[in-house]
Amino acid sequence: MEEEIFQQRTDLSALNQQMHAIRTEIGKVIIGQYKMLDLLMIGLLCDGHILIEGVPGVAKTLTAKLIAKIIDVDFSRIQFTPDLMPSDVVGTTVFNPKEGDFYFKPGPVFSNIILIDEINRAPAKTQAALFEVMEERQVTVDGVTHEMRFPFIILATQNPVEQEGTYRLPEAQLDRFIFKIDVQYPTLQEEIGILNSQHGSTQTELLSQVNKIVSVKEIYEFRKVIQSVIVEPRLIEFIAKIVIETRNNPALYLGASPRASLAILRASKASAAINGRDFVTPEDIVEMAVPVLRHRIILTPEKEMEGVTPDDLVETILKSIEVPR
C-alpha cells in the first residue's frame, strides 16, 4: 500500500538520464562549477535567459559554448561593445537593387542559443533592443514582426570587476533573466584537475570531444514534463511571502516583481525534476530563491555602504519566513 502512495506520478527517467549525460559530457572540459551547470540546465528546462557574472578566466564563455554544442540547435555569439548599434543585434531592412525592393536581413539574435559576451559594455539604446526579443521571443523592425524559433535562450556574461567602459543594465532587462549566476574561483583540487586535463590539449581539441546530447524535440517534451511537477498550495504561498517581503523590507530600495515569483515557481519545479522528484519541496524553493532574486532587488545606499550584498539580504528574508512542512 505504501509503495502505491509514494509511487512516482510522472515519468522522469528520460529527463534524468539526459541531464546526467549532459553533466558527464560537459565534465570532459569543465572541472567543477557544478552549481553553475545545474542552474544552466534548470534555465534551459524553464525556457529562461541567464546572466552569468564572474571574473575573467572562470569558463563563463566556454560553458555557454558547451551548452550550445550539446543541444542540436543553432548557436550565435555577439560581442557587446560601446559602439554596437541595435541593428547590429536584431537586424535591419536592406535595399535590393536587383529587385528594386527592401528585404529584412536578420541579425545574430536570430538563432536558438545566443551568447552575449560582456553584455554590460553596450549602451542603453542597444540594451533596449533586447527588451522585446527576451520577453516575447520576437523582433519588430519597420512595423513587421519576426518570430524566433524554438528554443530561444540568451546566455549573457559580464565581468563584475572592470567597470570602465561599462553601462549598468536597466532593471527591466535584468528582470527578464531567470537567474544571475555568480561564478566563483575553483578550489585547489579543481584547479589541479584543470591543469592536469588541459596541459596536453588545446581548448579546440577539448571542445571537439563534446557530442550533441539533446534534441529540440526532447527539450520540448522535457518542458511539458516540468509543467506536471506538483506544487502544493502552501508552497505557492511560501513563494509569494518571499517575494512580498522583498517589497516591504526597509533595507531594499526596489523589491522583486511578480515575474520573480513565477521564476521561482518554474525553477523549483525544474530543480525537483532534475533531482528525480515529481513534487516540489521547500528546499527547492529556498535553493532557487537566491539566484532568481539577487539581480532583481536593489539595496538602499545605507545597506550598500555597510557591505551588505543582495545574497545576504535574500538569505535573511528566507530565515525570517517560516518554512512550511
Q: In this predicted model, what pLDDT tens digit does every residue of 69-101 receive, in sequence order?
A: 888 788 899 999 999 999 999 998 888 887 778
Contacts of 207 (CB under 8 A, 6+ apart): 29, 65, 66, 69
C-alpha cell at 58: 572562470
pLDDT band with cut points at 50, 70 and 90 for residue 1: very low
> Could you name the CATH architecture of 229-325?
Orthogonal Bundle (1.10)
- According to DSSP, the residues that pair with 139 across neighbouring strands are 146
Q: How far apart are CA 165 and CA 184, in angstroms?
A: 23
Say which residue the cell 519566513 belongs to: 321
> Could you name the CATH architecture of 10-214?
3-Layer(aba) Sandwich (3.40)
Q: Is the pLDDT of residue 282 over 90?
A: yes
Which range in 43-57, 115-129, 156-170, 229-243 is most confidently predicted, on average pLDDT?
Answer: 229-243
**What is the per-residue pLDDT for 97?**
82
Q: Which amino acid is at 172?
A: A
**What is the per-residue pLDDT for 230?**
92
Do 229-325 and 10-214 have the same topology in CATH?
no
**What is the per-residue pLDDT for 7?**
57
Mean pLDDT of the chain: 87
State pTM to two decimals: 0.88
Domain ranges of the chain: 10-214, 229-325
Q: How far apart are CA 321 and CA 242, in angstroms?
A: 7
C-alpha cell at 250: 526597509
pLDDT-above-90 percentage for the chain: 40
3-state SS assignment for residue 279? strand
57: left (phi over 0), alpha (psi -120 to 50) or beta: left
Q: Is the pLDDT of residue 181 over 80?
A: yes
Torsion sign, CA atoms 295, 279, 155, 62: positive
